[in-house]
Structure 1
């Protein structure tokens, strides 16, 4: 079964392996298969589910609602997000303005068929809206009981500090940040993680397997496997392209004997690795088939020894991105519509 961790400086626990439906629900797989994977997640002990209104332009939230139908609401932790364009993508269907946040939470609750979400997240930082306006809107949502906790995604260390201070003034707290983090993408370690530890903010990390590259199935000098994420634009092919360099794929192959030494599969090693960071509350995983989750959840509770962690660092030396300046290049400087 899956272990639990506290989310930030709160009394709220989440499953350290959390099910995310970014590129699967209403996109990569048919609804029946998506529902089956959610049921497999529940059977494996995962009770925390992460989605966003922008996934499949709101349809992913509806699929998740269908999959969770009949489950005890108090036994689930449901997360969603707001920021990216949705619906007809009009001038106010985007960003973190008071209007879009209010419309966003109401739409998400309707689609998810719940009275509240456990965690409502700013999907990016909005440079075009005053931060005070955004945080006041989140404070109102918490007071209205529509969200129990507030988090963000891909904010810089400075943005976390400013948001945390405003939240405290308004009577609530930021408990989480959702960045990309994996053995290959470690940019949060330099500034974001230290600031978060100081502020009482946890990381909920996405792409712990580097879009599947850390599974080891992509081989240097070989065509990408048919049916893999790298061949499907709807499954995030554009995100994986940056990792499909021979020097990266060669380095990843060097992890195979290390995984075998630890008695783990490559996906288990990748997920266990991010969970060694105590500032990480949860690793987000997806699945297109139920059996994938049976392997994934075995990473929960795994302790990687110091010599193994050092060997992983050495195997990926020169190909892992550790530049903290890259945290400043994620949120768009202007809205997309």
Structure 2
């Protein structure tokens, strides 16, 4: 494993972060979750990303159990706040001081830790003053419940405003967690330049485009039986943006490029994301330990410029680059 600084902070994180969205508490049981976490640790992955909303809090609980007994100082544990986790009452979501303060306590209890290394705003809250949110985060940092603050799927302007307030409050806004992959590049035009200017690093989710870039989905064929994109009768859910015949056909054309690089398709997708110097980590999820072993072959790989160009040539017509597709835009009232 190799390690990178998270933004302009002094904290190192592993280039691959283990995330448990849609796995722990949903797809796999505690025994399987613990096996995956232990495999991640054996591979040198020290960074673990979760959220209170994943599996309605069960993902945090599963991660806390899986990490029990591991030296806390050797880990970087990240979680998030914004989405409802319980009955979804009027104050059970968003970034109000009330919800943020109640949520950090619940997360720490479930994760079985006194603090998280990074506490992230899971989305931007258009119904709460940003000043209120950042003051709550500052108080959490000063209370020792979080070491650093990050955001997820905020626009460039929102990141700039948040970083300004954080600086005024004497806390460190050091990261953004966006979707980023060969197919989804909406952060490149605006988010990355602002982040480089302000000292934020990207912690990228869905670097394999929700499994599509592994090549396991073939146009005209049924999807894998255990896939979230496979219907009960075995057919592929082609309504998803990545599952059109055009996208899937072009992804299949990446297979000889992956072979040329000596990588699996999954590892090629991860290595591609890690070529971006503003990326601090790519988040990988796994339901089986052997998936992580393959993922780890992407670490430290330098893809030649010619190979990067050929990837672009294959995918160009299906790449999404519109900065207006940052998810924060989609949650505006």
TM-score of the pair, normalised by structure 2: 0.97
Distance 1:238 1:92, change over 3 A: farther
Q: CA deviation at 1:304?
A: 0.3
List 4+ stretches of structure 1 deviating above 4 A.
237-240, 328-331
Q: CA deviation at 1:284?
A: 0.3
Match for residue 222 of structure 1? Answer: 221
Q: CA deviation at 1:239?
A: 11
Q: CA deviation at 1:34?
A: 1.0
Match for residue 7 of structure 2? Answer: 8
- Whether the 8 Å contact between 1:211 and 1:240 is mirrored in structure 2 is no
Give the Cα separation in 2 of the matches to 1:247 and 1:310. 19
Give the Cα separation in 1 of the matches to 2:154 and 2:192. 11
Match for residue 193 of structure 1? Answer: 192
Give the Cα separation in 2 of the matches to 1:55 and 1:121. 14
Q: Aligned with 2:84: secondary structure?
A: coil
Q: CA deviation at 1:223?
A: 1.9
- Whether the 8 Å contact between 1:179 and 1:205 is mirrored in structure 2 is yes
Q: Aligned with 2:229: secondary structure?
A: helix
Q: CA deviation at 1:298?
A: 1.0
Q: CA deviation at 1:302?
A: 0.5
Q: Which has the higher contact order (CA 8 A, sep 6+)?
A: 1
Match for residue 321 of structure 1? Answer: 320
Give the aligned CA root-mean-square deviation in angstroms. 1.5
Residue by residue over 1:153-187, the C-alpha shift from the partner in whole angstroms, topping out at 9 and shown as x without a partner, is 00000000000000000001210000000000000
Match for residue 249 of structure 1? Answer: 248
- Whether the 8 Å contact between 1:211 and 1:239 is mirrored in structure 2 is no
Which structure has the highest helix share of the two?
1
Match for residue 264 of structure 2? Answer: 265
Question: Which consecutive unaligned segments of at least 5 residues does structure 1 have?
Answer: none
Q: CA deviation at 1:231?
A: 2.4
Give the Cα separation in 2 of the matches to 1:329 and 1:123. 10
- Whether the 8 Å contact between 2:124 and 2:328 is mirrored in structure 1 is no
Aligned residues: 330
Give the Cα separation in 2 of the matches to 1:248 and 1:47. 34
- Whether the 8 Å contact between 2:154 and 2:328 is mirrored in structure 1 is no
Residue by residue over 1:267-324, the C-alpha shift from the partner in whole angstroms, topping out at 9 and shown as x without a partner, is 0000000000000000000000011101001101100000000000001010010111
Q: Aligned with 1:175: secondary structure?
A: strand
